[in-house]
Structure 1
Amino acid sequence: MTDQPTYPPKPRPGDRIAIVSPGFAGPGAFPLPHELGLRRLREEYGLEPVEYPATRKLGATPAERAADLHAAFADPGVTAVMATLGGDDQITVVPHLDAELIRANPKPFFGYSDNTNLLDFLHRQGVVSYHGAAVMTQLGRPHAVHPLTDASLRAALFDGGAYELTEAADTSTVIGRWEDPATFAREPAAEPATGWHWHRPDRVVEGTSWGGNLEILHWMAAADRLRPAEQHAGGVLLLETSEELPGATEVFRMLRNLGERGLLRRFPAVLVARAMAWSFEHPHDATARARYRAEQRAAVLRALDAYAPDTMAVFDVDFGHTEPQLVLPYGGLIRVDGPARRITVTY
């Protein structure tokens, strides 16, 4: 881990962007959102997607997926890398990665969920990456890319510099099935967003971001993949949960384990994403969704009270498994201004 993280050079319209599946090869199972995402990359963002052998290969081995990543980062004609989707076994890919190759060829990488593994790996190499914006989910969103997602993604992809995050006025939870073409012809149903909830907003914290999907962080801890807690001192912790909808008790237990490692208290600020709160397996109505989110917020506060009582927290921030989704720098600078209730990231 280097002391000064590197922001890789930005792509420009007309450049080639690598499309990879480091986790689940979602395009092999659900081509409709993938093809839509590729078309938008070409027509709306001016980038030329380049796929690799395992991008659509269901059951690709960890070594095959690592080979795609090596090819993408080593290719001088590719200026950015984006994941198609998440998954649940990217932890098996990381041991195959060539750290020296990737350090020598830093490029902006975009992904979230299971890609927390790769985001952390890049952070270890001193390379800033981006938590958010997968091909099948944000770019393959029915009807159109959400305007807030679009604005933050364009800033992260092309602009750089400071970018103030905007609270969403509404949020979508229920998305149609990807195998149904009718899903993509209509705007997803939305409900009013409740805004950000601030806890101990009595200071300004500016630090390097780390974290990601809580379930994946829990697995990484079990596999002894986390760096020593003291290396995170002064940073901004990112926490979000997935469509598997872990219960409040489990969320607390996972955070308790991180607290027992001495990790939580190292972060003077934490951003907690709005919980997804709905899935086809758990089709919660609006009341149940609100209750699930409130219970998860209480679980996080319980863990912070026990292990990081002085930490400032912002809840229901629009990143991770949420719609809209804001892209956040991973390993880059985030400024959390409690008194002003503002969050500014550096892309």
Structure 2
Amino acid sequence: MLTHRRPEKPRPGDRVAIVSPSSGLPGLFPVPYELGLRRLAEEFGLKPVEYPSTRRMGSTPEERAADLHAAFADPEVKAVIASIGGDDQITVLPHLDRELLRANPKPFLGYSDNTTLLAFLWNLGITGYHGGSVMVELGRPGAMHPLTRESLRAALLGSGPYELTAATAFCDVSRPWQDPATFASEPVLEPAGGWTWHRPERVVDGTSWGGNLEILSWLLMADREIRPAEEYEGRVLLLETSEEMPSATEVFRVLRNMGERGLLRRFPALLMGRAKSWSFERPLAPGERERYRAEQREAVLRALAAYAPDTMAVFDVDFGHTDPQLVIPYGGQVRVDGPARRITVTY
């Protein structure tokens, strides 16, 4: 079975690379991006370093791969952080130098479309971190959420076990980045119902794999960065969905196909992120949002019943496209303690 190593973490005063492997949105929305850079410097004590395509929309896959190569190869850069996600990082994969990245392991933080690079590094035996983008978490209006800040600090600068804390309130409704008023106050939160446990009769210890469900479906479709099913035996599966808000039917079909491939039953535990249930394209009312999340949960349970009936699952975990956001190691150790209702990760 593939084993993973945790790259050495940066320390205050170190340089960290800021890259855009998916989309150059920092060029379109500089306010949250530059706010995120300031917080990296002022609250984390790190020195952000930009690359040619970081702020450029329409950069080629070759240009984005070159930025990643430069960031990982630079001995003065101690971590690599994605500015934001996107939808075409899969086109960067053919241009990546596996040996260069394997020889220069560094912590990489990102999520959404960055599931692609996390899976790529996972296959090189390098632990990454699912979460912590510059524009969203670091560039949050008003202030970083305390749970996000604490988790991101532990993942980026710390090491050792870290027990996840369920949020008591969360935000699901976004505000437009092009409106300066957005950044005058923090997002409005609503009560969170805590985590929901399914089959919590045992304790599972395993290294993690997964990420954004939509991106994983693309990797599966293209047969990119997916290993033989038996190599996922005993791992902890991470899944979450984005603001594109796939239907419950689509979620079930992706999981069904993972089941037909023999993948789903390999994971003794599943952490399912709280579903993003509002977008500018689909501004659902509160009751509709609650129903969307419930239908997604039912779809996941239906797939587990058919293909992985013994898998323990925890729903509405605060990772992925949610605020606050907990950073989850990708390829790192995760302990899911069902009887105690506790989740502990190792940064």
CA distance in 1, matches of 2:144, 2:176: 17
TM-score scaled to structure 1, two decimals? 0.99
Amino acid at match of 2:202: R
CA distance in 1, matches of 2:95, 2:193: 42
CA distance in 2, matches of 1:7, 1:166: 23
Tell me by how many angstroms 1:3 deviates: 3.2
Matches within 5 A, 1:23-34: 23-34=22-33
Tell me by how many angstroms 1:29 deviates: 1.3
Matches within 5 A, 1:279-290: 279-290=279-290
For residue 238 of structure 2, what is the aligned residue in structure 1? 238
Tell me by how many angstroms 1:205 deviates: 0.2
For residue 137 of structure 1, what is the aligned residue in structure 2? 136
CA distance in 1, matches of 2:58, 2:14: 30
Tell me by how many angstroms 1:174 deviates: 1.2
Tell me by how many angstroms 1:214 deviates: 0.3
Query: Retained in 2: the 8 A contact 1:173–1:276?
Result: yes
Write the deviation string for residues 64-92 of structure 1: whole angstroms up to 9, x where unpaired. 00000000000001000000000000000
CA distance in 1, matches of 2:221, 2:173: 32
For residue 207 of structure 1, what is the aligned residue in structure 2? 206
Write the deviation string for residues 21-75 of structure 1: whole angstroms up to 9, x where unpaired. 0001110111111010001111111101000001011100000000000000000
For residue 60 of structure 2, what is the aligned residue in structure 1? 61
Matches within 5 A, 1:1-347: 3-225=2-224, 226-347=226-347
CA distance in 2, matches of 1:46, 1:143: 19
Aligned-partner SS, 1:321: coil
CA distance in 1, matches of 2:291, 2:112: 23
Query: Retained in 1: the 8 A contact 2:51–2:67?
Result: yes
CA distance in 1, matches of 2:85, 2:263: 25
Write the deviation string for residues 235-288 of structure 1: whole angstroms up to 9, x where unpaired. 000000000000101110111111111000000000000001000111112111
Write the deviation string for residues 275-316 of structure 1: whole angstroms up to 9, x where unpaired. 010001111121111100000000000000010000000000
Query: Retained in 2: the 8 A contact 1:175–1:183?
Result: no
- Segments of 5+ residues of structure 2 without an aligned counterpart are none
- Segments of 5+ residues of structure 1 without an aligned counterpart are none
Amino acid at match of 1:101: L
Write the deviation string for residues 197-228 of structure 1: whole angstroms up to 9, x where unpaired. 00000000000100000000000001011111
Query: Retained in 2: the 8 A contact 1:213–1:239?
Result: yes
Tell me by how many angstroms 1:4 deviates: 2.6
Moved more, 64-73 or 26-35: 26-35
Moved more, 136-145 or 2-11: 2-11
Tell me by how many angstroms 1:157 deviates: 1.0
Amino acid at match of 2:191: P
Query: Retained in 1: the 8 A contact 2:22–2:114?
Result: yes
Amino acid at match of 2:119: D
Query: Retained in 1: the 8 A contact 2:2–2:231?
Result: no
Consecutive aligned runs of 4 or more in structure 1 exceeding 3 Å deviation:
none
